[in-house]
Amino acid sequence: MLLTLLLRLLILLKFMLLKRKKRLLRLLRVMRPALLPNRKQKKKFSFMSGKDLYRVLSGFFFERNRYVAEDTYLIAGLGNPGQNYENTRHNVGFQIVDAIARQVNEYLELTKWEAQYCRVALWGGRLFFVKPQSFMNLSGKSIARFADYFKISPENILIIHDDIDMSPGRLKLVTGGGPGGHNGIRSIIQCLGTKDFFRLKYGVGRPGQDGVHSGIPVDRYVLGALSGEEQDQVDKRMPFLLDGVEAFVKSGSQKAMNIINSVK
């Protein structure tokens, strides 16, 4: 009995040393019957059951929500929903994630948290292919819900999107950094609370640069339809994109970068 009491006092001391004041107060309130004599029977002690003690202490020793599904990946393409935006430059992320899913015989037919998605066991991991349906500047809400519910860490999140500061057809896989003027990425950073996720950028060019149409406002340009030549370019990049995403899951980000960033 004395050893048990001493053990419990040592546990309390540990929490004091860790300066977890709020948790310590909660623990004292719950364990008070186990540590103090029963006033009605002064010579006896009233102890908690072992099961109850374990349940209480487990919540204090271990931080909640520490579990992360290391083999789960979120592959998301960004765009705007609706037929009016299909095959536009701003929706190239949608087009790419759809094409990758089709290559592995999957289709984004399920809906959850304002997103279309599919789930598949592939390349040694569990993958979620996702297309947020809440318009570009609110994309982060769906991404954050998937990441939180399925315990997907930021380093296992890959966002595919257009980039006007890269020449048409250029590919680049990066991690971290700011949104670069992309409202979808800005929303994801805000909702995830971190910049440390991966972005696979597909260059669509900026009006007036690299031979791209001049005299067109940027917003009209990105919401314009891909030309036949631009669509052919997307199709030619698909084998590299598929290989890059596969490498991202199977071998890690560095191997994926070697594949994606070497495409000219």
Which residues does the annotation mark as catalytic?
90
- Cα angle for residues 244, 235, 105 (degrees, 5° grid): 65
Q: Please enumerate in sequence order all residues whose Cβ is within 8 A of that of 89, keeping only pairs 6 or more positions apart, or say none.
A: 162, 204, 221, 222, 223, 224, 225, 226, 230
Residues 78 and 159: beta-carbon distance below 8 Å? yes
Tokens of 88: 């536009």
Burial of 53 (0-12, 13-18, 19+ CB in 10 A): middle
| Cα atoms in the Cβ-side hemisphere of radius 13 Å centred on 163 | 20
As beta bridge partners, residue 109 has none
Measured between alpha carbons, how far is 138 from 111 in angstroms, rounded to an integer? Answer: 16
Residue with tokens 């364990």: 31
Across the beta sheet with 110-111, what order do the strands follow?
110-111, 115-122, 125-132, 72-77, 157-163, 198-203, 171-175
Tokens of 167: 């020449």
Tokens of 131: 């297309």
